[in-house]
Amino acid sequence: MMNNDDLNIIEAAPASEIPPPDPNRMLELLQSETASERMLAARAFCEIKDPRSIPILIKLLDDVCPLVRVSTTYALGRNTAYNAVEPLIKLLAVDFNGYVRKGIVWALGNSKDRRALQPLIHALKTDISAVRLWAASGLAQIATLDYDDIIAAIPPLIQGLRRDSTAAVRSNCAWAIGQLCRELPSNVIYATAIDALIESLVEDEDFGVKDDARSAILKVGDPRGLQMIEELEFEGLI
């Protein structure tokens, strides 16, 4: 039996000494007949980037085990591919498991593929809060690539910022609006988005949302928004 002195000299191995998963072995396990092994392998490809995994991961989106599907969606968010986007979109529309759908919207955001824009807008409007949270962030990742996509993404994000019942979703909407406004010229859409951020800064009851709206305005550098922040700080309201 060890005493306390014996225990004190035992040190855990540094994280850097833990060997990474073997890609070849993980590729084999992706096709295992055991669900736990498929899940373990899919999780490994959340860390490993290996294009050989993509065709197998796409097939695993139809796995009967929801835990495998969850891990697979995150793996495809790490190993992004053009041909994975449509299967992810199709699964988003039909999968009953909220954890799976959450992983899907994260993967679609990472894909930066325009085909995911409308599915993410729909998810932001209709899905559970955990999915709406990542749908808002995903829209900012996708829409920054194209002006028309920014114009399409801003209105549902404003609606989410003003009306969503979950503070964390409103916060992500504020962040996303700030990201997209940095890509916009000073036009009506831009002004409406800044109005929504100012409104949230002044009226939202959640201090976290207020802070994210403030941060978004500061990053955009909008003069009207900056003046409002200065006035509210002077009055001690934020």
Q: How far is CA 57 from CA 66, 68, 71, 92, 170, in A?
A: 14, 10, 9, 15, 32
AA identity, residue 141: Q
pLDDT band at 16 (very low <50, low <70, confident <90, very high): low
**What pLDDT score was predicted for residue 233?**
85
- Predicted pLDDT at 92: 98
Classify residue 40 as exposed, middle or buried by CB count within 10 Å of its CB (0-12, 13-18, 19+): middle
Q: Please say if the pLDDT value at position 232 is more than 90.
A: no
**pLDDT in the model for residue 144:** 79
pLDDT at 15 exceeding the cut of 70: no
108: tokens are 């679609």
Single-letter amino acid, residue 104: I
Q: What percent of the chain has pLDDT over 90?
A: 85
Residue 31, both tokens: 């096709």
Task: Say which CATH topology domain 23-111 has.
Answer: Leucine-rich Repeat Variant (1.25.10)
Domain ranges for the chain: 23-111, 121-238
Each residue's pLDDT tens digit, 102-147: 999 999 999 999 999 999 999 999 999 999 999 999 999 998 778 9
Q: Dmax over Cα atoms in the chain, in whole Å?
A: 74
CATH pick for 121-238 out of 1.25.10.10, 3.40.50.300, 2.40.160.20, 2.40.70.10: 1.25.10.10
Sign of the alpha-carbon torsion through 133, 139, 140, 141: positive
- Determine how many CB atoms are found less than 10 A away from the CB of residue 120: 30
Query: Residue 1: its pLDDT value, please?
Result: 44
* Shared fold status for 23-111 and 121-238: yes
pLDDT of residue 4 exceeding 60, the answer is no
